[in-house]
């Protein structure tokens, strides 16, 4: 029978890395706190273990939803062995959680992780002394390198087998080894009251370990448990009596007393277990941070990093790979092979057109941009796992705080460069409910992998010599998020104060090749799967609708301009005339892009015949220049597609996270209105400034929109609002 192993530890302690190593799973790994937002399950076949990776937390008195996931799982008791992942480089911080976990009186193993980093920092640990003082098995490991993992698995199995043979009787010494006799006695007496209450209610799940934790929580006035037991007179009387006795004896409040006792125990333990010396490695980390987190140099360095990232991904290395994929793989090999196959089987014209122009032309045009994504995701993975992205969150917090956000929102923003769905889910790490809601609404403004092909296509066709377009769009997205957050926070519906920003600064680490490859593979795999399903279906439908219609002779193939799709596109094209483009092809591309952003390139490839040319080919430039007569119109097309509503999957995640129909409807309308207004300003006002668009009514409308934007920025904050009611988060 398989045994359930629960992994628990501080944020950024290496839980997910260990989980991936022992289970072979592909959970996302990042060198920042809060990577795991919900519990994940895996299996270790060699030892018949079911492994549960729980969200990280620093205390069992949590406030955020993902921390509640961890505490509720521990209270459920649905596990056989608890594995406490400890950071060897910050052992004193980890031990506070360890003391709380020991309240549960469940089989536990300490996995002292990051021993490779501890060695670099010249930190020596006496693992045997740690075992002796805590009375719990401990194993030194490095989840990143695999060091000590076999020994850890064997120890887990040994502890699980011993636990099955031993009695489950709960001893007082196991209640709270970190506290003195008087405090332990108070815990025991509150436990007696809880046992009586559990017996009277028939609660069979109230085991001794849970009762010890609940007793201590009641003594330190945990609001969740006070609310749960406030009607039980015996329990509350026992708690009140013990709190009064402890405060009288120790002359301090119980909450402070418990923390004082715990950290006094940890200080004594650290003196016995740890020998720490000054390290060149640590000094180097501090020297790097003196630049990376500098008040004046931090943001310029971040700008340079973003420019360099997109320069490699969009302008140089990534483009070389994309050119080869589009020009050779799909433009020659795939197209020629498909054409020869169709000719050899004497396929009808419609089937040949479907395969060559529809499937290869449409899907191939989208897949051709995968090399750029590979380069982009490799660089982002290196930045994330090195620890730099945590520094970015720190330096941007000062800036974002002025707009109603904190540095926490940088994590969903970075995730959004891969996909909007996990980015929206990553907002679970934000405690403040209104800050979380604003981030959910705005984070998909970041250019994700699906938007990258649109960006690369427009940049190559209209700005082939410029390396500023891609990073410029990135910073325009950041500005759009800041602007949106600032005007939304002034409304009473988003009026809660910004939450305090407390973020652990992890050590700089050399990214592991395995993690970089896994992260890049997973992100690109998701894009390719979408190209093989949603985009495939879309381009086939687009090809069919653009080649068939009803005629006098019946239903059959027609010229593309006489097709069903042309009629539909022409009917809606007027909507986009103020944005500088009025062709039915561009209108249809925008509509399909509302379903999935990758469809924009695939649709244009089918309708304009771009599937057989590389992104920098003259044919591409000529076809797009015929669609968009000015560069400002092309930028307006790009802006609307990048900043309008995300794909259907991301909208679904947004709806679930907001959990409010009216707020979700507001988000959809806001994003569409924002994208349309921004595109109009870019075309009319930007085009006028560069001499591409004459001054006219459209320019006046653009100026009015700018004036409205300024009003929204400088308007006084609204004190009341009645037409949008949002319930406050309750835990």
Tell me: pLDDT of 245 over 80: yes
Residue 639 lies in a domain: yes
Residue 602 lies in a domain: yes
Rounded distance, CA 16 to CA 54, Å? 9
Is there a contact between 433 and 496 (Cβ–Cβ < 8 Å)? yes
691, 596: one domain: yes
694, 558: one domain: yes
Residue 222, domain CATH: 1.10.287.1770
Residue 568 lies in domain: 554-714
Rounded distance, CA 441 to CA 650, Å? 11
pLDDT at 112: 94
- Of the residues 119, 137, 166, which one is the last residue of a structural domain? 166
Residue 727 lies in a domain: no
Rounded distance, CA 412 to CA 408, Å? 8
Instruction: Give the angle 477-674-315 at the CA atoms, nearest 5°.
Output: 30
Strand-pair category, 40-44 with 108-113: unpaired
Strand-pair category, 3-9 with 81-87: parallel
Q: Which of helix, strand or coil describes residue 408?
A: helix
Range scoring the smallest mean pLDDT among 15-29, 139-153, 294-308: 15-29
Tell me: pLDDT of 546 over 70: yes
660, 684: one domain: yes
Helix (H) or strand (E) holding 267: helix 254-273
pLDDT at 483: 93
Residue 477 lies in a domain: yes
117, 207: one domain: no
pLDDT (average), residues 593-604:
81
268, 309: one domain: no
**What's the distance, CA 487 to chain centroid?**
24
Number of domains in the chain: 4
657, 686: one domain: yes
More confident residue, 446 or 167: 446
Residue in 481, 512, 347 with CA at minimum distance from that of residue 412:
481
Tell me: pLDDT of 168 over 80: no
Rounded distance, CA 106 to CA 166, Å? 12
Residues 6+ apart with CB under 8 A from 719: 492
Tell me: pLDDT of 676 over 70: yes
Count of CB atoms situated within 10 Å of the CB of 613: 22
- For residue 680 the two structure tokens come to 């109009």
487, 560: one domain: no
62, 197: one domain: no
Is there a contact between 626 and 385 (Cβ–Cβ < 8 Å)? no
DSSP states of 465-507 as a string? Answer: T-SSHHHHHHHHHHHHHHHHHHHHHTSGGG-SPPPP-----PP
Is there a contact between 456 and 314 (Cβ–Cβ < 8 Å)? yes
Tell me: pLDDT of 275 over 60: yes
Instruction: Give the angle 396-401-406 at the CA atoms, nearest 5°.
Output: 65
Angstrom CA distances, 500 to 295, 395, 404, 430, 494, stand at 19, 15, 12, 10, 16
More confident residue, 602 or 6: 6
Tell me: pLDDT of 205 over 80: no
Residue 53, domain CATH: 3.40.50.300
51, 109: one domain: yes
Instruction: Please identify which residue in the block is written with the tokens 């790097």.
Output: 288
Q: State residue 7 phi and psi, 5-degree precision.
A: -95, 125
Tell me: pLDDT of 722 over 50: no
Instruction: Please identify which residue in the block is written with the tokens 């490859």.
Output: 517
More confident residue, 355 or 37: 355
pLDDT at 721: 47
What's 22-49 look like in SS3? HHCCCCCCCCCCCCCCCCEEEEECCCCE
pLDDT (average), residues 675-691:
93
**Band of the pLDDT at 215, cuts 50, 70, 90?**
confident
pLDDT (average), residues 383-412:
79
More confident residue, 365 or 669: 669
**Band of the pLDDT at 119, cuts 50, 70, 90?**
confident
Residue 329 lies in a domain: yes
Averaged confidence pLDDT in the chain: 80
Rounded distance, CA 122 to CA 278, Å? 7
Count of CB atoms situated within 10 Å of the CB of 69: 19
Residues 6+ apart with CB under 8 A from 727: 660
**Band of the pLDDT at 466, cuts 50, 70, 90?**
confident
- For residue 620 the two structure tokens come to 């591409």
More confident residue, 402 or 612: 402
Helix, strand and coil percent figures for the chain, each rounded to 5: 65, 5, 25
Rounded distance, CA 440 to CA 657, Å? 8
pLDDT (average), residues 692-705:
92
pLDDT at 251: 84
Instruction: Give the angle 136-141-145 at the CA atoms, nearest 5°.
Output: 165
Rounded distance, CA 433 to CA 430, Å? 7
- What DSSP state is assigned to residue 443? G
**What's the distance, CA 410 to chain centroid?**
9
Tell me: pLDDT of 109 over 90: yes
- For residue 61 the two structure tokens come to 């008195």
- What DSSP state is assigned to residue 577? G
**Band of the pLDDT at 172, cuts 50, 70, 90?**
very low
The share of the chain scoring above pLDDT 90, in percent, equals 16
Range scoring the smallest mean pLDDT among 107-121, 606-620, 672-686: 606-620
**Band of the pLDDT at 634, cuts 50, 70, 90?**
very high
- For residue 438 the two structure tokens come to 């604003």
Is there a contact between 631 and 462 (Cβ–Cβ < 8 Å)? yes
Residue 537 lies in a domain: no
- Of the residues 166, 193, 214, which one is the last residue of a structural domain? 166
28, 79: one domain: yes
- What DSSP state is assigned to residue 142? B
458, 594: one domain: no
570, 434: one domain: no
**Band of the pLDDT at 614, cuts 50, 70, 90?**
very low
Count of CB atoms situated within 10 Å of the CB of 301: 17
Residue 548 lies in a domain: no
654-675: per-residue pLDDT in tens? 888 888 889 999 999 999 999 9
Q: Report yes or no on whether pTM surpasses 0.85.
A: no
Is there a contact between 603 and 589 (Cβ–Cβ < 8 Å)? yes
Rounded distance, CA 94 to CA 722, Å? 46
Residue 356 lies in a domain: yes
23-43: per-residue pLDDT in tens? 876 554 444 444 445 567 888
pLDDT (average), residues 110-132:
89
């Amino acid at each position: 029978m398989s045994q359930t192993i629960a992994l628990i530890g501080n944020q950024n302690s290496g839980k997910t890395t260990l989980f991936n190593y022992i289970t072979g799973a592909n959970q996302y790994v990042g060198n920042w706190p809060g990577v795991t937002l919900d519990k994940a399950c895996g299996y270790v076949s060699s030892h018949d273990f079911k492994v549960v990776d729980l969200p990280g937390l620093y205390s069992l008195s949590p406030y955020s939803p993902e921390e509640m996931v961890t505490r509720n799982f521990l209270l459920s008791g649905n596990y056989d062995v608890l594995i406490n992942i400890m950071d060897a480089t910050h052992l004193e911080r980890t031990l506070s959680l360890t003391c709380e976990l020991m309240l549960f009186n469940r089989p536990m193993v300490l996995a002292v992780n990051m021993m490779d980093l501890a060695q670099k920092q010249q930190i020596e640990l006496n693992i045997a002394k740690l075992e002796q003082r805590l009375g719990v098995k401990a194993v030194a490991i490095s989840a990143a390198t695999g060091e000590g993992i076999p020994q850890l698995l064997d120890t887990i199995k040994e502890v699980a087998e011993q636990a099955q043979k031993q009695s489950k009787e709960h001893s007082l010494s196991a209640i709270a080894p970190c506290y003195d006799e008087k405090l332990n006695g108070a815990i025991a007496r509150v436990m007696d009251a809880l046992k009586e209450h559990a017996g009277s209610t028939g609660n069979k799940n109230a085991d001794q370990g849970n009762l010890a934790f609940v007793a201590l929580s009641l003594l330190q006035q945990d609001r969740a448990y006070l609310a749960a037991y406030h009607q039980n007179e015996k329990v509350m009387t026992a708690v009140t009596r013990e709190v009064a006795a402890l405060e009288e004896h120790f002359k301090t409040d119980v909450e402070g007393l418990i923390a004082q006792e715990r950290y006094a125990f940890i200080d004594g333990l650290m003196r016995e277990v740890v020998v720490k010396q000054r390290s060149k490695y640590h000094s180097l980390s501090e020297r790097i941070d003196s630049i990376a987190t500098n008040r004046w140099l931090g943001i310029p360095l971040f700008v340079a990093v973003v420019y360099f990232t997109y320069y490699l991904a969009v302008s140089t290395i990534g483009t070389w790979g994309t050119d080869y994929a589009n020009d050779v793989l799909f433009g020659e090999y795939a197209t020629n092979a498909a054409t020869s196959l169709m000719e050899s089987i004497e396929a009808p014209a419609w089937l040949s057109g479907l395969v060559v122009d529809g499937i290869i032309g449409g899907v191939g045009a989208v897949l051709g941009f995968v090399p750029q994504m590979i380069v982009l995701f490799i660089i982002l993975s290196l930045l994330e796992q090195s620890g730099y992205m945590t520094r970015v969150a720190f330096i941007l917090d000062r800036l974002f705080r002025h707009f109603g956000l904190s540095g926490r929102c940088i994590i969903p923003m970075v995730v959004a460069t891969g996909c909007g769905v996990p980015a929206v889910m990553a907002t679970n790490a934000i405690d403040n409910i209104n800050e979380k809601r604003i981030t959910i609404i705005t984070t998909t403004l970041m250019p994700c992998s699906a938007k990258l092909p649109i960006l690369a296509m427009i940049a190559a066709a209209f700005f082939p010599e410029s390396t500023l377009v891609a990073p410029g769009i990135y910073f325009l997205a950041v500005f759009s998020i800041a602007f949106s957050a600032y005007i939304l926070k002034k409304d009473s519906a988003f009026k809660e104060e910004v939450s305090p920003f407390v973020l652990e600064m992890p050590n700089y680490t050399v990214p592991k090749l395995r993690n970089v490859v896994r992260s890049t593979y997973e992100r690109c795999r998701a894009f390719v799967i979408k190209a093989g399903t949603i985009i495939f279906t879309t381009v086939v439908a687009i090809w069919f609708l653009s080649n068939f219609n009803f005629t006098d002779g019946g239903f059959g193939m027609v010229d593309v301009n006489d097709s069903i799709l042309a009629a539909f596109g022409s009917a809606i094209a007027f909507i986009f005339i103020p944005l500088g483009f009025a062709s039915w092809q561009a209108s249809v591309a925008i509509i399909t892009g509302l379903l999935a952003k990758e469809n924009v390139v695939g649709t244009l490839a089918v309708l304009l015949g771009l599937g057989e040319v590389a992104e920098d080919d003259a044919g591409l430039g000529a076809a797009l220049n015929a669609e968009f007569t000015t560069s400002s119109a092309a930028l307006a097309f790009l802006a609307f597609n990048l900043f309008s509503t995300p794909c259907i999957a991301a909208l679904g995640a947004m709806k679930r996270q907001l959990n409010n129909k009216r707020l979700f409807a507001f988000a959809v309308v806001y994003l569409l209105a924002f994208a349309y207004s921004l595109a109009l300003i870019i075309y009319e006002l930007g085009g006028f400034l560069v001499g591409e668009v004459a001054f006219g009514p459209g320019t006046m409308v653009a100026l009015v929109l700018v004036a409205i934007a300024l009003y929204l920025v400088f308007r006084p904050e609204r004190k009341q609002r009645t037409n949008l009611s949002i319930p406050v988060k309750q835990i």
